């Protein structure tokens, strides 16, 4: 449904996207991960036809977005990162606009509004002014406006930012439901647990490039790290090979059990202050951090350039 | 181009305008208040110009209608700046609506409001201020329509040029007073200083009021308004071309 090849975009002298390739199939949810400034929003904006790329190709279905953004937009729905609703109008009037623009009208439009408002728990709020809804309700309305017309490609840029737990659950459930009906979803997020909740595959964007694309399990296997984390009452002692953070000491090791046994055997002086021992297994989080946290050398290079 | 999409955006933007009617009420009620104060002055000046039996409404009604239509430039400007402030501009751009559909859908509601406001003022003029339309109603409608077309073009230029709502608001107020005053909307041209009378034709309000006076005071028909209509349409084309050359859908606007 979405096919991106060698996409490049820069602002002034800053390269935001440097040869991005990405495919999303119908019914697939791709969690687009990456640190702030990685280019996730720029990528979504270009796919939605809001910005032009410097080079590269993007196809939504069989439509070239660069040459025919208007036609491509008939196939997609976008919920930008920043909230976008009409506060002086009711939730229903907000939905009506985007339904009608997408060519849905009459009974069909009423049915879609019923469907999306039920799925996102907006049914009782439809005739309230959008401006007086709570933050979570506004976020659900904002997301509903992108989904109302059942787009074939849905671009969601951090759709659960500021949403409460229940709003987040409802948004994720509705996204899964849309995908089950064949919508391809590109879901940019910083909340890693959502990736599992969505049963999504992963694309990690860092430094303007997709540095990993695949399933969560392969990502964890390939890049996840294991380690040992010790929590102390008071400051951690000076342990060889461990990094400290507050009252915690952490060490990356291949065999955490062996490391724990070795460390505790030497710990006669501080073991009374030890509060907990945790084995860190390879996970999406550790893999993500391994892929995106700059190495010491990279940080030094960036500092030097700056 | 889809009429359905234009209609959807038109209806939506009309709802947005009506949902916060303060500015519309002000630009409709204020001229009525001012007409009450200025009608006597209008009658005196018109009689001095030889229009015996004039009620004064023949000056104050078109004068206030044109002046407050100029203030109406803010309606379209606000419509664009609100979209940016509410975060809906990018959503609209990412929708299937084309740029021309978005522009038409957004321009038509403020144009309708300017037209309705003018009709209300002329109707109030006839009912409350003894306004007598001596000439052709068709010619009067032609003047009102071409004035509105010019104001929409001017609104688009203002949207293209300014980046904050404060700039737009200040510029609209200043421009309305200068163009309106110079064109004879406040006081008739005959009582303006000589230098103002000399440069008055640079104001579109001058041509608008010239056409309206020809209909209201001199009983003119279409023939009498051809020149002002032509000049206003020409000015609209120039201003619209300038707006088109400066307006960018990707420009950022600030609702401050």
Chain A residues whose C-beta sits inside 8 Å of any chain B C-beta: 45, 48-51, 70, 73-74, 76, 78, 80, 82-89, 93, 96-98, 100-103, 105, 145-146
CA distances from residue A11 to A21, A53, A301, B84 in whole angstroms, order as listed: 19, 10, 21, 21
- Looking up tokens 């006081």, which residue turns up? B187
pLDDT at B74 over 90: no
**Could you tell me the two tokens for B130?**
């003894």
Closest to A213 (Cα-Cα) out of A158, A222, A153: A222
Of A74, A82, A102, the CB nearest to B87: A82
- pLDDT bin (cut points 50, 70, 90) of residue B199 is very high
Of B5, B8, B90, the CB nearest to A80: B90
**Could you tell me the two tokens for A139?**
């976020």
pLDDT at site A109: 94
Q: How many CB atoms neighbour CB B32 within 10 A?
A: 17
**Residue contact A103–B4, C-beta within 8 A:** yes
pLDDT at site A298: 45
DSSP character string of A54-86: SEEEEEETTEETTT-HHHHHTTEEEE-SS----
pLDDT at site A290: 76
Q: How many residues does chain B have?
A: 256
Residue A2 DSSP SS3? strand
Yes or no: say if B32 and B120 are a contact pair by the CB < 8 Å rule: no
How far is residue B105's CA from residue B3's CA, in Å, rounded to a whole number? 9
**Residue contact B94–A49, C-beta within 8 A:** yes
Q: Which residues pair with A29 in a beta bridge?
A: A185
B8 interfaces chain A, CB cutoff of 8 Å: yes
- Of chain B, the percentage scoring pLDDT greater than 70 comes to 100
B1 interfaces chain A, CB cutoff of 8 Å: no
**Could you tell me the two tokens for A160?**
């659960």
Q: Which one-letter DSSP state was computed for residue B96?
A: S
Q: What is the pLDDT of residues B223-244, one digit of tens each?
A: 999 999 999 999 999 999 999 9
The residue in chain B having the minimum alpha-carbon distance to the alpha carbon of residue A101 is B5
- Print pLDDT tens along chain A (306 aa): 899 999 999 988 888 889 999 999 999 999 998 888 888 899 999 999 888 999 999 999 889 988 888 888 989 999 998 899 999 999 999 999 999 999 998 999 999 999 999 988 899 999 999 999 998 899 999 999 999 988 999 999 988 887 888 888 889 999 999 999 999 999 998 888 888 888 889 998 988 889 888 887 787 777 778 888 899 999 999 888 888 888 999 888 888 888 888 888 887 788 889 999 998 887 777 777 777 766 444 444 443 433
Q: What is the phi/psi pair of residue B88, to 5°?
A: -95, -10
How far is residue A130's CA from residue A88's CA, in Å, rounded to a whole number? 7
pLDDT at site B252: 83
pTM of the model: 0.82
Residues of B within 8 A of A89 (CB-CB) are 12, 15-16, 19
B98 interfaces chain A, CB cutoff of 8 Å: yes
Closest to A140 (Cα-Cα) out of A163, A123, A173: A163
- Burial class of residue B252 in the structure, from the number of CB atoms within 10 Å of its CB (0-12 exposed, 13-18 middle, 19+ buried): exposed
Q: Which residue has the higher pLDDT, A192 or B143?
A: B143
B4 interfaces chain A, CB cutoff of 8 Å: yes
- Quote ipTM for the complex: 0.84
pLDDT at site A96: 94
């Amino acid at each position: 449904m979405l096919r991106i090849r060698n996409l490049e975009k820069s602002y002034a002298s800053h390269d935001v996207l440097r040869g991005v390739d990405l495919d999303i199939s119908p019914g697939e949810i791709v969690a687009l991960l990456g640190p702030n400034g990685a280019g996730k929003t720029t990528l979504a904006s270009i796919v939605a036809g809001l910005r032009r790329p410097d080079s590269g190709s993007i196809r939504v279905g069989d439509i070239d977005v660069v040459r025919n953004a208007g036609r491509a937009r008939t196939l997609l729905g976008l919920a930008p990162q920043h909230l976008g609703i009409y506060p002086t109008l009711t939730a229903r009037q907000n939905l009506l606009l985007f339904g009608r623009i997408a060519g849905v009208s009459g009974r069909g439009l009423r049915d879609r509004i019923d469907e999306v408002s039920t799925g996102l728990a907006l049914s009782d709020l439809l005739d309230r002014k959008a401006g007086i809804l709570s933050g979570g309700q506004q976020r659900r309305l904002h997301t509903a406006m992108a989904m109302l017309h059942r787009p074939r490609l849905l671009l969601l840029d951090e759709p659960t930012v500021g949403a409460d737990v229940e709003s987040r659950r409802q948004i994720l459930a509705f996204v899964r439901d849309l995908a089950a009906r064949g919508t391809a979803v590109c879901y940019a997020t910083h909340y890693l647990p959502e990736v599992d909740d969505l049963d999504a595959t992963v694309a990690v964007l860092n430094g303007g490039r997709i540095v990993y694309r695949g399933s969560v399990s392969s990502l964890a296997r390939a890049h996840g790290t294991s380690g040992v984390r010790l929590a102390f009452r008071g400051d951690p002692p000076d342990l060889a090979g461990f990094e400290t953070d507050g009252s915690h000491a952490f060490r990356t090791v291949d065999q955490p059990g062996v490391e724990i046994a070795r460390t505790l055997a030497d710990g006669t002086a501080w073991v009374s202050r030890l509060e907990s021992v945790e084995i860190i297994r390879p996970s999406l989080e550790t893999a993500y951090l391994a892929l995106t946290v700059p190495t010491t050398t990279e940080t030094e290079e960036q500092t030097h350039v700056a | 181009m889809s009429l359905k999409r234009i209609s959807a955006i038109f209806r939506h933007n009309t709802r947005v305008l009506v949902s916060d009617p303060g500015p519309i009420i002000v630009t409709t009620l204020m001229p009525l208040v001012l007409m009450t104060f200025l009608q006597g002055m209008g009658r005196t000046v018109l009689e001095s110009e030889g229009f015996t039996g004039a009620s004064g409404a023949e000056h104050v009604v078109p004068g206030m209608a044109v002046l407050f239509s100029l203030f109406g430039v803010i309606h379209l400007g606000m419509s664009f700046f609100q979209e940016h402030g509410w975060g809906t501009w990018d959503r609209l751009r990412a929708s299937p609506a084309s740029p021309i559909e978005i522009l038409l859908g957004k321009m038509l509601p403020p144009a309708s409001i300017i037209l309705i406001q003018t009709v209300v003022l002329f109707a109030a003029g006839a009912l409350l201020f003894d306004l007598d339309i001596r000439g052709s109603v068709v010619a009067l409608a032609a003047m009102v329509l071409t004035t509105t077309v010019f104001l929409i073009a001017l609104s688009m230029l203002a949207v293209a040029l300014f980046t904050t709502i404060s700039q737009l608001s200040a510029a609209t107020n200043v421009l309305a007073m200068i163009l309106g005053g110079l064109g004879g909307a406040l006081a008739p041209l005959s009582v303006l200083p000589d230098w103002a009378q000399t440069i008055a034709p640079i104001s579109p309000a001058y041509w608008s009021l010239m056409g309206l006076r020809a209909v209201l005071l001199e009983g003119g028909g279409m023939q009498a308004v051809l020149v002002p209509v032509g000049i206003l349409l020409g000015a609209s084309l120039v201003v619209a071309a300038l707006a088109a050359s400066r307006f960018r859908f990707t420009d950022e606007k600030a609702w401050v």
